[in-house]
Amino acid sequence: MIVSQAEAIANEKDKSTKKKTWIHKAQNVRDFAWASSRKFIWDAMRVDVGGKKIWAMSYYPKEANPLWGDYSTHLVALTLKEYSKRTFDYPYPVAISVEASNGMEYPMICYNYGRPNPDGTVNPRIKDGMFGVIIHEVGHNYFPMIVNSDERQWTWMDEGLNTFLEYLTELEISNTPWGKKAILRATPPRAAIQNTSRLICASVRNNWCPL
- CB count in 10 Å sphere of residue 128: 18
Question: Is residue 33 within 8 Å of residue 106, measured between CB atoms?
Answer: yes
Between residues 115 and 202, the one the model is more confident about: 115
Tell me what the mean pLDDT of segment 198-206 comes to: 57
Specify the pLDDT at position 175: 92
Is residue 210's pLDDT more than 50? Answer: no
Specify the pLDDT at position 211: 41
Indicate the range of 8-12, 33-37, 177-181, 193-197 predicted with least confidence.
193-197
CA contacts within 13 A on the Cβ side of 177: 0
Average pLDDT of the residues of the chain? 89
With H, G, I as helix, E, B as strand and everything else as coil, classify residue 115: coil
The predicted-structure confidence for 66-87, as pLDDT tens digits, reads as follows: 999 999 999 999 999 999 999 9
207: left (phi over 0), alpha (psi -120 to 50) or beta: left
Nearest to 97 by CA among 113, 88, 110: 110
Specify the pLDDT at position 181: 74
Radius of gyration of the CA atoms of the chain, in A: 18
| CATH superfamily of this structure's domain 30-205 | Neutral Protease Domain 2 (1.10.390.10)
4: left (phi over 0), alpha (psi -120 to 50) or beta: beta
Rounded Cα distance, 170 and 92, in Å: 22
Is residue 180's pLDDT more than 90? Answer: no
Give how far the C-alpha of residue 129 lies from the chain's centroid of Cα atoms, to the nearest Å. Answer: 12
Tell me what the mean pLDDT of segment 30-42 comes to: 95
Rounded Cα distance, 133 and 111, in Å: 9
Residues, the chain, total? 211
Specify the pLDDT at position 133: 96
Is residue 60's pLDDT more than 50? Answer: yes
Beta partners for 47? 54
Is residue 9's pLDDT more than 70? Answer: yes
Tell me what the mean pLDDT of segment 161-172 comes to: 92
Element (H, E) at 161: helix 161-170
Tell me what the mean pLDDT of segment 163-182 comes to: 89
Tell me what the mean pLDDT of segment 185-201 comes to: 61
- Provide φ and ψ at 173, rounded to 5°: -60, -45
Tell me what the mean pLDDT of segment 102-113 comes to: 96
Is residue 51's pLDDT more than 60? Answer: yes
Nearest to 130 by CA among 84, 177, 175, 64: 64
Measured distance between the N- and C-terminal CA atoms of the chain, rounded to whole angstroms: 48
Residue-range domain boundaries for the chain: 30-205
